[in-house]
Amino acid sequence: MILVAVSRDETSDSRSFARAYGIEFPLISDLDGAISKALVGIDDQDHSIPGVVVIRRDGAIVFRQIATSKDDRLTARALLEAIDRSLGTSGELATTRHPALERAQLRLETGAGQVRVGDRWQPTGVSRFGVLVPLQRYLFAGAALASEYREARLSLQGSIGVRVPILADIAAIQLAGEAGLPISAPGVYAGVRLGLWFAWTPRWAVNLDGTFGVHDAGAGDALPGWSASLGIARLLGR
């Protein structure tokens, strides 16, 4: 579909108008009024009557609205509906969601927290590199290689959770359960993670997460810990 605006203005005035308002579609100067007369008509002051006209590729007029003033013309939404009715639709349906919500995320994050060893909480650092994959609008799953610097230097983790899309679907609040196997220490790990991510471009997002988990090293040796982390994510896919 090609959008064109027609007016009785001088060419120089149309160019100035386009520059001032950032208009990129063609503005045609209909100085003699021939186009206006053929499509919408001329008023008693020799001005083009405001209107909207849809012309098919073969030159046939399939829709025309003659307005009482420039503010009486169809809205963009109403015009698109009129075009659909007049010309029909083809191709894939447009998505109503921001692509960020539908893309996998390759994440890198780092942060700090504490681990309880014996009867004392001790400071530690955390880092994580992994992937998060949307299963559907409200569900996701993930896998990661994680490190907790004090007790579990390296571990493989998996997670599954729910999310609530916000900000026109370019961000989400997420809650996940996660479990893992430490590579450099005995036992297993289980925890919960609450996070927020925001896509500031179609390809990049930032995320903030809080985690509470327990590393069970066996023989009744359970080490609880918490952490907060900040990360960056590369959005994958279309």
Convert the pLDDT of each residue in 53-85 to its tens digit: 888 888 888 888 888 777 777 787 887 888 888
Q: Is the pLDDT of residue 97 over 60?
A: no
CB 196 within 8 A of CB 207: yes
Which residues in the chain belong to E strands, given as ranges?
5-7, 27-29, 51-55, 61-66, 104-117, 120-136, 139-148, 152-166, 171-182, 188-199, 204-216, 222-236
Interatomic CA distance for residues 212 and 177, integer angstroms: 10
Beta pairing partners, 229: 111, 209
Model pTM score = 0.59
Question: Which residue has 């650092």 as its token pair?
Answer: 125
Which of the 8 DSSP states describes residue 48?
B
The rounded distance, in Å, linking the Cα atoms of 108 and 101 is 18
Residue ranges per domain, the chain? 5-87, 99-236
Most confident of 30-39, 169-178, 185-194: 169-178
Question: Please, what is the Cα angle at 83 between 78 and 84, to 5 degrees?
Answer: 95
- Residue 160 CA to residue 50 CA, distance in Å, equals 56
CATH architecture of the region 5-87: 3-Layer(aba) Sandwich (3.40)
Question: Is-contact 192 177, C-beta < 8 A?
Answer: yes
Instruction: Express each pLDDT in 195-216 by its tens digit.
Output: 999 999 888 999 999 999 998 8
Match 């009867």 to its residue by tokens: 119
- Architecture, CATH, for domain 99-236: Beta Barrel (2.40)
- At residue 56, the pLDDT reads 86
Distance, CA of 110 to CA of 128 (rounded, Å) = 6
pLDDT at 191 over 80: yes
